[in-house]
């Protein structure tokens, strides 16, 4: 039987055989209605939703009174389950919708559920977990992509009954969806005329959705407030598991959104594909894809603010060009983003391990004007109490042109505001030449100034003001840092 690739860059990882149903134009199911694969609903490789019986969606309600024992709600005629439910119209209803290869038992669901159930006062919440795992199984991604339409309709129908029977206002409904679940949240809100108060899209799925009509995917018109976290916009060849296009009132590109620090490399993924470990490859790739719900879960009750900054692109942000809030304001990624002023595209860095949230710091390195031009890479590591806080490439590549008087900036995150910074280690690697070409380039750099500045507060650490530190190729020098600012010192003199 011939094979149709589900995604252009993952055709070895996820494939679906041609079957006669690909040519079926429409189908109708009781209660949830009819579906076809005509444009714009031809996005899912011409698949149409599988039957409600096959998908077997379950709705599990958890409350602060019963945080571990769910109540099962039904949208399709069994109104008794809703009448007798503990749904409280004075509370928020937070809906959790998983994505591909997930279900109610997925490891991230319970931590998110628990954090939401801790909310108090105006955020007091019940939690509804939507389990459509039978319709989201590996490796049938096109089927799962199409099934979002039916599951979204089911959620919408349940919300209509909760509104009619329990008096639940749509202004108290917040849908949190990961990957395909993000688009499912949007489709659910479509069923109730986009009256949902909020949708949080956690790395909305890219394949079969990115660039498609907004009718089939999540966009900012689907709810009164839509916030997006992008964490895996690039897997290979410019395509990732998550979508790169902005789709919310505010879009957070964590660490640039392409992939996340501490996750396996693309080379690891490709190796697994070549040895036939397609599902293993998908799970490894999902590390970056899954960070989005890790960030969101951590943001709910954390004291760390996940500050993000408006900027043209991530490279500009990392290079220190966007470390102040514009007139439109900054934003806090995650649960509290709705209370921030900032809208549009926002950028931030995180740590590579949990807790992921960090305070932002800016390294500024200035080279002496009298040194010779060279090319290569400059790395700076910052140390506090013998702990390395970061090891950053100031040049961002190994063969950068390095000129006298150059000023380099780099933004990084650390989990707390540190009280004391001891020293920096600056390392210079001159780039190798080809057949002696470029050998006239200088063999050392001279650092005239090194500063570390906290972006969130006024803390500044500087190297000795008049120091000129020479660093030969393939060597390192230690530069002591003290709590003062050479720039202020020179201005006062």
Kindly report, residue by residue over 42-92, the tens digit of the pLDDT: 999 999 999 999 999 999 999 999 999 999 999 998 799 999 999 999 999
Distance, in Å, from the CA atom of 254 to the CA atom of 262, rounded to the nearest integer, reads 13
* Closest listed residue to residue 29, CA positions, set 47, 50, 58, 57: 50
Q: Which of the listed ranges 83-97, 263-277, 459-473 does the model predict with the highest average pLDDT?
A: 83-97
CATH number for the region 3-348 comes to 3.40.50.1820
CB 454 within 8 A of CB 367: no
Q: Does 217 belong to an annotated binding site?
A: yes
Separation between Cα atoms, residue 207 and residue 252, nearest integer Å: 19
- Angle, CA of 38, 43 and 49, to the nearest 5°: 75
The whole model's pTM is what? 0.88
Question: Is-contact 175 97, C-beta < 8 A?
Answer: yes
Q: Report how far residue 412's alpha carbon sits from residue 425's, in angstroms, rounded to the nearest whole number.
A: 16
d(CA 393, CA 127): 43
Residue pair 159/173 in contact (Cβ under 8 Å)? The answer is yes
DSSP state of 303: S
Which range has the worst mean pLDDT, 200-204, 207-211, 224-228, 382-386? 382-386
Q: Classify burial at 392, counting beta carbons within 10 Å of its beta carbon; exposed 0-12, middle 13-18, buried 19 or more.
A: buried
d(C-alpha 298, C-alpha 434), whole Å: 48
Mean pLDDT of the chain: 88
The mean pLDDT of 118-135, rounded to a whole number, is 98
CA distance 185 to 204: 10
Give the pLDDT mean for 201-228.
Answer: 97
Cα(35)–Cα(28) distance, rounded to whole angstroms?
6
Which tokens hold the place of 254?
A: 């964590």
The residue behind tokens 């807790």 is 355
pLDDT band at residue 389 under the 50/70/90 scheme? confident
Percentage of the chain modeled with pLDDT above 90: 74
Q: List the beta bridge partners of residue 229.
A: 202, 252
Asked if 56 and 151 touch (Cβ cutoff 8 Å), the reply is no
Question: Known binder of ligand: residue 222?
Answer: yes
CA 191, CA 403: separation in Å to the nearest integer? 59
Task: Give the start-to-end residue ranges of the domains of the chain.
Answer: 3-348, 359-492
343: its two tokens: 């809208």
More confident residue, 318 or 440: 318
Residue 203 contacts residue 178 (beta carbons within 8 Å): yes
Res 256 pLDDT > 50: yes
| 32 secondary structure, DSSP code | T
Residue range 135-155: mean pLDDT, rounded: 97
The Cα–Cα gap between 353 and 1 comes to 44
| The two structure tokens encoding residue 303 | 């004291």
Q: pLDDT digits over 182-211, tens only? A: 999 999 999 999 999 999 999 999 999 999
Catalytic residues: 179, 203, 289
pLDDT, residue 12, reads 37
Kindly give, in sequence order, each residue whose CB lies less than 8 Å from that of residue 459, ignoring residues fewer than 6 positions away: 417, 453, 483
Tallying the residues shown for the chain, one arrives at 493
Fold of the CATH domain 359-492 = Lipoxygenase-1 (2.60.60)
């Amino acid at each position: 039987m011939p094979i149709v690739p589900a995604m252009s860059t993952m055709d070895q990882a996820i494939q679906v055989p041609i079957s006669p149903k690909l040519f079926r134009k429409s189908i109708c199911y009781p209660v949830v209605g009819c579906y076809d694969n005509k444009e714009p609903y031809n996005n899912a490789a011409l698949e149409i939703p599988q039957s409600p019986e096959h998908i077997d969606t379950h709705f599990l309600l958890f409350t602060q009174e019963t945080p571990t024992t769910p109540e099962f709600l039904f949208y399709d005629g069994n109104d008794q389950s809703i009448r007798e439910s503990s749904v409280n119209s004075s509370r928020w209803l937070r809906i959790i919708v998983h994505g591909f290869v997930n279900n109610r038992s997925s490891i991230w669901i319970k931590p998110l559920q628990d954090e939401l159930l801790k909310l108090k006062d105006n955020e007091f919440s019940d939690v509804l977990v939507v389990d459509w795992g039978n319709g989201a199984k590996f490796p049938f991604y096109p089927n799962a992509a199409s099934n979002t339409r039916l599951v979204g309709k089911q959620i919408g129908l349940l919300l209509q009954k909760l509104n009619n029977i329990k008096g639940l206002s749509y202004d108290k409904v917040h849908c949190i969806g990961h990957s395909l679940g993000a688009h499912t949240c949007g489709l659910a809100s479509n069923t109730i005329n986009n009256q949902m108060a909020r949708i949080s899209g956690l790395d909305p799925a890219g394949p079969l959705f990115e660039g498609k009509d907004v009718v089939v995917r999540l966009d900012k018109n689907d709810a009164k407030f839509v916030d997006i976290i992008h964490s895996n916009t690039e897997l290979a060849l410019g395509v990732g598991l998550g979508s790169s296009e902005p789709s919310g009132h505010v879009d957070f590109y964590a660490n640039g959104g392409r992939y996340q620090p501490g996750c396996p490399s693309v080379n690891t993924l490709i190796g697994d594909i070549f040895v036939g470990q397609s599902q293993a490859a998908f799970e490894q790739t999902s590390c970056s894809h899954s960070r989005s719900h890790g960030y969101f879960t951590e943001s709910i009750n954390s004291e760390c603010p996940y500050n993000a900054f408006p900027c043209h692109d991530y490279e500009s942000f990392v290079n220190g060009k966007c470390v102040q809030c514009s007139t439109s304001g900054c934003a806090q990624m995650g649960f509290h983003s709705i209370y921030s002023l900032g809208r549009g595209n926002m950028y931030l860095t995180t740590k590579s391990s949990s807790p992921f949230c960090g305070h932002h710091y800016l390294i500024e390195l200035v080279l002496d004007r009298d040194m010779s031009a060279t090319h290569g890479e400059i790395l700076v590591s910052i140390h506090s109490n013998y702990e390395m806080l970061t090891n950053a490439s100031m040049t961002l590549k190994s063969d950068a042109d390095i000129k006298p008087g150059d000023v380099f900036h780099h933004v990084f995150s650390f989990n707390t505001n540190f009280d004391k910074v001891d020293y920096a280690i600056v390392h210079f690697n001159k780039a190798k030449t080809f057949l002696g070409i470029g050998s006239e380039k200088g063999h050392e750099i001279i650092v005239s100034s090194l500063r570390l500045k906290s972006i969130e507060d006024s803390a500044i650490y500087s190297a000795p003001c008049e120091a000129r530190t020479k660093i030969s190729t393939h060597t390192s020098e230690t530069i002591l840092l003290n709590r003062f600012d050479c720039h202020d010192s020179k201005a006062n003199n």
